[in-house]
Structure 1
């Protein structure tokens, strides 16, 4: 593992996608983060020692994805988090991941500001159409010494994803939203006691208000509304139910190679371009 000292760094971007705005200074305590993504060999050991508690990922059925030094892929957020706990670690926060990838100078990519090439990263258009071994492109490591924080695989992190989070996130050790949330985007809307609406309204939600999401039924979300449970239609606002993902997959466009690029996938989601690395407190 690589040690990242405590202190501030620049997080986010004023010129990237809207969910990266604004760029600001964020302070973190020191932490450790894996130099490489978790490999197939490491994940196989986890499966063996947990004795059937988790199924083998779909990628284990593909000959070109099972190399012992390739990153494990097609695991859900829950499975990645379970592995991290088994290993005595945890998934990094978005802030930790970005600091480990970007360092202190606000660079665009882990290797600096030079535009990407296939000599430094593995992304869409490369000749090899599967993940490379985790130690490939070691010469393009981040300032913290982490390898492949741009390209090869997307990486689960611990936070819930919220495209607007940076607008209200704390400047000290942000750890993401507390829970999946619904943000009202219309001027006002009634909150109903049952998913279909009906005649029983619990009150009114107004634009900009946020509510914890408790569940979903088709295009209606159950929210915590005061001391009760109410329902809002999907069309009334933004529903943030995904977990955050950083980095870039081997089959994905180069824009996601930037250290500040963000994605969010549902916690159950699996893909052959999605893996993870672990972190722990210093």
Structure 2
């Protein structure tokens, strides 16, 4: 198989991380900062906030996320790197602060006069307040109610040590805060590399400051950082091993996860194990210095899989057993021939003779490896009827009787219906059943809706914009995701999975994919294989299926994959809801998401509370779902208004809906969230459903 994922390593190994590193587990700290900067009474009000912690623990990452708006729309942050400012004079320092802040405020289009450098020479503190702070605050108040300026001073250790000498420049954190916080014009947040004791020893005026210690990530936050940004499998025990190796330190976690992503991409691994972790530690000399001593986990991924990931094990029948099967088949053929020919000489029917021989009128059918002129077991005759725009039924099943037929003649089925197609009624039925696989299908009526996310939606990604109006014709959509039993039947009709769907693997069975697949392959001993669900999991969603395998299945049952627009409309309707069930946040009664284990995946009909406005289930969480469209991050800018079908070509196919392990809270399972994978991807995270044009 070609590359499984677009090569875009989500983990940063750059010490400065100019674009920011992945951010997990600091929500409580952000909430604490938000509360402190809006304190308006008491002894704690109006005090600077200082984040303390060792190098590479995530202090600067917190500042970047505050800069990106994580404290809400009323906080206007300005980031100042103290290591880049002049600290030898007050005039140079406060002018550098103002000069650094002005371009950061430019996107706000504030109406104020920029400060004049000459005014900072005589009285820099007053000039800073009168020529910068006051005009900016007045301009903000005109546009935003309850606005708050927040200065984010990184690298406090770059300031000179606070001194009582008269010749010393008064650039302590307390002195800076007093200038900026006068009349509550701005709040200050500093970062200090070290512990609280070293901070107070260097800057004693920080005794009354709000000091927040930044430590390693919690176990759950670290495991989320390890598992959620990627689409290959890292079971919880392996993630816990990485957490123990790094002690939860974000930089060390990023370095190891970056190396694991490189290894997965190079070797095309479907799953990362403890052996892979040890391999990257061995081959990368810099990594062991970031780790602590931890024993690798001793566990089996699942009793059935035995840790297999890329080696296919199929039971082979010994030659003597094959010969035994052949001998049994010959004997069975001779017995059957005698039974069938006996009525010619005795006048007795075959059924009477068989009952006399076995002394039991009930015959248990058994599969025979050889063909016979006329089998005794019921024969199923499938009559194929071509699908037209006016006929939904695509197959008729007739069971030939085993007993002697009655005297009246029975019409012989033909491959073409003898009656003219019945015209569709004026009103389409709201629910039909697809005969080929007994899938219930829900009518999605024609309609117009607003597709995508609003520009002020902080959860939305750029590729969800701009919002645009889309009109769709009616169609039927599978009420549930295609399940294991349905897809196993498809493979049995196809005869194989490997390179069988447009020269790409249709899907991977459990023998190849491991414990995250409930599709089982069994050698029947005669050179053929059979596919069936693992016992108890027939109604679970199919996964480890490529786009080609999903597309061919839908075509085989007379349907197709949904377009991206059809999928979003079926998921959210025309009222602009965030999730299929509405705007309320998801919970385990509505969706399987942000899960610790594949064992938490549920049957396709398990969560009715998560249904869409049209009654379609499973459109949030569980499995990403393939759509028909190629992906483009700018397609919404040029999408046609009526029945859009996506770009004409591309590298990746759009998937929608989110998946069981791959979500941070609720953002990944919103109805507007977009993602894309290579169409030959085989993953435990991806399934599908079909649609049908009436």
The yes-or-no answer on 1:77 pairing with 2:487 is no
The yes-or-no answer on 1:246 pairing with 2:683 is no
Q: SS in structure 1 opposite 2:550?
A: helix
The yes-or-no answer on 1:125 pairing with 2:586 is no
Q: SS in structure 2 opposite 1:135?
A: coil
The partner residue of 1:5 within 422, 442, 445 is 445
Taking the aligned partners of 1:255 and 1:64, their CA distance within structure 2 comes to 24
The yes-or-no answer on 1:99 pairing with 2:543 is no
> For the pair shown, which has the larger CA radius of gyration, 1 or 2?
2
Q: Does 1 or 2 have the higher relative contact order (CA < 8 Å, sep 6+)?
A: 1
User: Within 5 Å, which residues of 2 pair with 1:105-120?
Assistant: 105-120=575-590
Counterpart in the other structure of 2:272: none
Q: Does the 8 Å CA contact 1:65/1:131 hold for their aligned counterparts?
A: no
Q: Does the 8 Å CA contact 2:561/2:628 hold for their aligned counterparts?
A: yes
Q: SS in structure 2 opposite 1:58?
A: coil
User: Within 5 Å, which residues of 2 pair with 1:1-282?
Assistant: 1-14=441-454, 15=457, 16-52=460-496, 54=500, 57-61=507-511, 62=514, 65-66=517-518, 67-125=537-595, 129-180=599-650, 241-253=651-663, 254-282=666-694
Taking the aligned partners of 1:118 and 1:126, their CA distance within structure 2 comes to 13
Which one has the bigger helix percentage? 2
- Give me the CA root mean square deviation: 1.6
Distance 1:119 1:130, change over 3 A: closer
Aligned positions, number: 222
In the TM superposition, residue 119 of structure 1 has moved relative to its aligned partner by: 2.0
Q: Does the 8 Å CA contact 1:65/1:130 hold for their aligned counterparts?
A: no
Counterpart in the other structure of 2:344: none
Q: Does the 8 Å CA contact 2:625/2:687 hold for their aligned counterparts?
A: yes
In the TM superposition, residue 58 of structure 1 has moved relative to its aligned partner by: 2.8
Q: Does the 8 Å CA contact 1:151/1:248 hold for their aligned counterparts?
A: yes
1:121-150 CA distance string (max 9 Å, x none): 101135664531101111220011110100
TM-score (structure 1 length as normaliser): 0.75
Identify unmatched segments of 5+ residues in structure 2: 1-440, 519-536
Taking the aligned partners of 2:669 and 2:615, their CA distance within structure 1 comes to 17
Which one has the bigger strand percentage? 1
Taking the aligned partners of 2:662 and 2:599, their CA distance within structure 1 comes to 11
In the TM superposition, residue 64 of structure 1 has moved relative to its aligned partner by: 5.8
Counterpart in the other structure of 2:164: none
Q: SS in structure 2 opposite 1:170?
A: coil
Counterpart in the other structure of 2:317: none
1:87-130 CA distance string (max 9 Å, x none): 11100000000000001100000010001112211011356645
